[in-house]
Chains A and B, each alone.
Chain A
């Protein structure tokens, strides 16, 4: 019985250790890939048309879902905050608290998660299917660097688009909070705005924008990296896409903590 338990524990510890090593290895590979992408960003030719195509794909095509998510997040958050604040008679602060929370946390994080799920997965799937159908080999044989051609426009576009989407999320979220707050929860409109302008500062928005920029970069690096790692046909494309979404979302949440710790000190 004890021997069996010992063997079981040993196997589990070994498995855990292997997974941990794989994860560290993966992080190292992603970092190297990000470095290579950085290198190729500075090299000619600069493919502006591809950049705009990706801006359209990551930015414009994510807009509807971002606006919907932002509107309802603002409305729900306003309602919940109001219920809590009313108990201690500070319901006039609802607008300010919702706006600050949206600016610093909810807008960049939820935008990051949505983009990781929508655009990050699409990047991995597109590049992965190009890999298994030898389209990437075709690029390389022609003398075109596949990282420069496929990864760089996506990474630059996501780094630009995600903060913009985050600002849209923030705006529409505040609009949702305002609508619910002033029409359903009967918060005084003048009070809503005066407290908002009293407590919210530019640094709150800046913190969210910086976070969203980092998230955009990381999501695109992860999405394209897992696309390039795809092997073994359709199954591989599915696995790569899945990994891109999981790693992308986890990275957003983990990075959020470290960025918050860092940004509250400097802003």
Chain B
């Protein structure tokens, strides 16, 4: 199992129990700063629960979740809300606000959390949308008028608006056609590269093994609440764990 000196995210002995069901079982692992780490696993393996723990939306039954050196259990609710501004997130279906246009969606976190002037916000939104490949004629379109790929791009721009240190991707390529999958993958890599100088860690939660292996630096495999394999991507592909090989060959 991999350990890092100064990880972006550290999960120490985390257990989460719902009723009689143990969803995360004494989970231990670190996520390296400035790298792309993918957490793979079958449906029901505990990936979404783990994501909610990293975001501080859910508290562990026992154990410690630290993000950027901060133990999340030590923060009160308001501090936790403030702390979440370190995160950006791209949801599976982008989760754009459907009554807002593309640019209003991206402007939303800037209006809520910064003291930027309207003109500065407009400028920043324009830069963000162009950086993810949205053309100006689409700025005023509602999410319902955008294609699935464009919605993902806008969702990513919104996630990046507050310059987060950790970018989370929840099933970014699940259910997409091969061309859009490639586009989203390129976008994740480009985003990680573009923002490397100011430190940005990317965490991908997925069960789309083929798409995510192409772009990851590290891969962890979660099964029934435990990390059963966690290696750099090339070594992960050669893992001798039966379940991992079964998953890779699906």
Q: Please give the residue numbers on chain A whose beta carbons come within 8 Å of chain B beta carbons, in ascending order.
A: 129-130, 133-135, 137-138, 140-145
Contact = CB atoms under 8 A, between A and B. Distances in A.
Given A141-B84, A141-B89, 18 more contacts: A129-B98, A133-B93, A133-B95, A134-B93, A134-B95, A135-B97, A138-B96, A138-B97, A141-B55, A141-B57, A141-B87, A142-B85, A142-B108, A142-B113, A143-B82, A143-B84, A143-B113, A145-B81
Contact of A134 (B55, B84, B92, B113): B92
Listed from nearest, the 8 A-B pairs whose CB atoms lie closest are: A134-B95, A143-B81, A143-B84, A138-B95, A134-B91, A141-B89, A135-B95, A142-B109
B84 A142 contact: yes
B197 interface: no
B91 A137 contact: yes
12 contacts: A133-B93, A134-B92, A134-B95, A135-B96, A135-B98, A137-B95, A140-B57, A142-B108, A142-B113, A143-B82, A143-B84, A143-B85
Contacts of A134: 91-93, 95
A129 to B, nearest CB: 8
B246 interface: no
A143 B113 CA distance: 9
B76 interface: no
A192 B211 CA distance: 80
Interface string B63-90: 0000000000000000001111101010
Contacts of B57: 140-141
Contacts of A129: 98
A138 B98 contact: no
B112 interface: yes
A142 to B, nearest CB: 5
A144 B55 CA distance: 13
A145 B97 CA distance: 15
Contacts of B82: 143
Contacts of B92: 134
Contacts of A137: 91, 95
Contacts of B55: 141
A133 B85 contact: no
**Residue of A130, A135, A145 most packed against chain B (CB within 10 A):** A135
